[in-house]
Homo-oligomer: A and B are copies of this chain.
Amino acid sequence: MQRLTGMDASFLYLETATNHMHVAATAIFDPSTVPGGYSFEKVRDLVDSRLHLLPPFRRRLLTIPFELHHPLWIEDPDFDLEYHVRRAALPAPGGEAELAEFAEQVMARPLDRDRPLWEMYVVEGLEHGHIATITKTHHAAIDGVSGAELTVNLLDLSADAPPTPPPDVPWKPDRIPSDLELFTYALNSLSRSPVRGYKAARRTVATALNLRRRNRSADVHAPPAPFSAPRTPLNVAISPHRRFAFTEVALDDVKMVKNALGGTVNDVVLAMCSGALRSYLDGKGVHPDRPLLAMIPISVRTDEEKGAMGNRVSSMFVSLASDIDDPVKRLHAITDGTRNAKEQEKAIDAGTLASDWVEFAAPALAARAARLMSRMQAGGRIGPMSNVTVSNVPGPSFPLYSAGARMVAMYPMGPIIDGSALNITVMSYMGSMYFGLMACRESVPDVWDIARGINAALDELKKASDGTTAPKPRKPRSTAKAVKPG
């Protein structure tokens, strides 16, 4: 029995019927490498054999009477693996459109809070004989531990990995305590940390206010402040339903652009998103009066926080320079912007914007900050905090396997919140960058257009860099991959 930290619990409090606080990933596997052939049971047995390495998978919430204190985690005495790992299939031809439609329906449903907060769908019937897994986990369950650690414990470095040794100490489910016991336990510990949960939010708000203050100075290089974003159709209240689109580019192509035109891999990714969103809004006749503003989750550790508590999460706000017509000048403006933002934050690991999956947390934190901000500024008029969330999660460059099947693609699925109806999360794996675009079904029904625009924006940048350095031979998979369904 263990009480949730304030930050973990905050993801429960923030969740509404439309703003779900779970994150997910769609991974595609080639089962031809499975020794003896694929079966659903092998995947479920793999999860079963590793449950002791995946503590959040058997923990469920217990809420405290009268909500006196944060909920508790207990080892679920009714744990039922069959409930969590589900077999499913796509209709023919099992292509991107069918997979995305299945994934968006999974993402649109809240997790059952009376059970461990995760579900895994093993999806058969993909084209090329592939299999997909869609793993959905609540933020409250993976914020305290490293989300990356969970993933690693379900994947292997080879197709014929040895069986997992059983745990040293067998798992012991908890008894569900009575309401009276919970009540007493909560009262006893209540004096300890009643407001701890709000400090992170205050810190985020403080950061936002600091940024605003700096922005008012004469320094022209200051990054844009949150709430300086223009209003667009992406910045509205969201429904519970989702649209999911995805696409893939070759990491070598992105690096070629970076080497020819300057900036980092992340800057080129932002420039691709900028180009895609510019075209998308232009096609709708929407011409924002200011450049679009991206919120980028970043990992921020202070020295005193390093260690047991895992990651702290903050956000960086970067202009997408979408008011600049020339794609090269646009990339340069973005590069200047991220450099300034990084200098200002002075807290970002070199080479990565985000060090692991925990940065998915940032949108939720920001939502809380946004609500506090609105309350503080009640009566005034503020714009959207940002136009889009862009997150870049570096992944391995070597192949991974699950139950013997080789992973061939991994599309991350980040959360969206009121006021920010589009989340673009990018993950690199085996020389490719996989873009997952999660959107509100009602406000961004045509999110596949944005996915196609990402490939088009990279092509534009590649063309512009052709004269600058000798272009490397293009990989076939770098061409436009996203095809609008239907």
Contacts and interface: CB of A to CB of B under 8 A. Distances in A.
A441 interface: yes
A101 to B, nearest CB: 7
Nearest to A40: B91
24 contacts: A40-B91, A78-B442, A83-B241, A83-B441, A86-B101, A86-B105, A87-B91, A87-B98, A87-B101, A88-B91, A88-B102, A89-B89, A89-B90, A89-B91, A89-B92, A89-B125, A91-B124, A91-B125, A92-B124, A109-B109, A112-B240, A112-B241, A114-B239, A125-B125
Interface residues of A, number: 24
Interface string A430-449: 00000000000110000000
Given A89-B91, A91-B124, A125-B125, 13 more contacts: A40-B91, A78-B442, A83-B241, A83-B441, A86-B101, A86-B105, A87-B91, A87-B98, A89-B89, A89-B90, A89-B92, A112-B240, A114-B239
Select the residue from A89, A109, A112 with max chain B CB neighbours within 10 A.
A89
Contacts of A86: 101, 105
Interface of A: 40, 78, 83, 86-92, 98, 101-102, 105, 109, 112, 114, 124-125, 239-241, 441-442
A83 B104 CA distance: 12
A278 B114 CA distance: 32
Contacts of A88: 91, 102
The 9 A-B pairs at the shortest CB distance, nearest first, are namely: A89-B91, A89-B89, A91-B124, A87-B91, A89-B90, A89-B125, A88-B91, A109-B109, A112-B240
Contacts of A101: 86-87
Contacts of A240: 112
A124 B89 CA distance: 9
Most chain B C-beta atoms within 10 Å of own C-beta, residue among A88, A105, A241:
A88
Contacts of A239: 114
A124 B105 CA distance: 17
Nearest to A98: B87
Contacts of A98: 87
A22 to B, nearest CB: 15
Contacts of A83: 241, 441
A87 B109 CA distance: 17
A89 to B, nearest CB: 4
A238 to B, nearest CB: 12
A240 B89 CA distance: 23
A3 B400 CA distance: 57
A249 to B, nearest CB: 29
Contacts of A442: 78
A375 to B, nearest CB: 21
A279 B13 CA distance: 47
A125 B124 CA distance: 11
Contacts of A91: 40, 87-89, 124-125
A89 B121 CA distance: 14
A239 B105 CA distance: 22
Contacts of A105: 86
A78 B124 CA distance: 33
A241 to B, nearest CB: 7
Contacts of A78: 442
A87 B98 CA distance: 9
A346 B332 CA distance: 85
Nearest to A102: B88
Contacts of A125: 89, 91, 125
Contacts of A241: 83, 112
A148 to B, nearest CB: 29
A59 B89 CA distance: 31
A134 B183 CA distance: 44
Nearest to A112: B240
Contacts of A87: 91, 98, 101
Nearest to A113: B17
A92 B125 CA distance: 9
A101 B105 CA distance: 17
A345 to B, nearest CB: 40
A90 B98 CA distance: 13
